């Protein structure tokens, strides 16, 4: 799934979706032991969103079930 990675404070790896287009319009995700973080791949220094493992699992299940299509 990852096309490019960047270290995250030695605790995890930021990864981009393999669906990222040539313009780089995508988010990056870092999976950490007790949370998951998401940021804008074009502006990584502007902040990030943090999710608990339960919130992240619910989100991924919802995406797979087409709830955001």
- Residue 19 sits at φ, ψ, to 5 deg, of -85, 0
pLDDT of residue 69: 79
Q: 3-class DSSP state for residue 45? A: helix
In this structure, what DSSP letter does residue 46 have? G
Q: In what order do the strands lie in the sheet with 12-16?
A: 5-8, 12-16, 27-31, 35-40, 49-52
Residue 10 has pLDDT above 60, yes or no: no
pLDDT digits (tens, 9 = 90+) for 15-65: 987 777 777 678 899 999 889 999 988 888 888 999 999 999 999 999 999
**pTM (two decimals):** 0.69
């Amino acid at each position: 799934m990852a096309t490019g990675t960047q270290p995250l404070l030695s605790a995890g790896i930021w990864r981009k979706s393999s669906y990222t287009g040539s313009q780089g319009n995508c988010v990056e995700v870092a999976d950490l032991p007790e949370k998951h973080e998401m940021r804008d791949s074009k502006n990584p220094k502007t902040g990030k969103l943090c999710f608990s493992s339960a919130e992240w699992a619910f989100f991924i299940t919802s995406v797979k079930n087409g709830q955001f299509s």
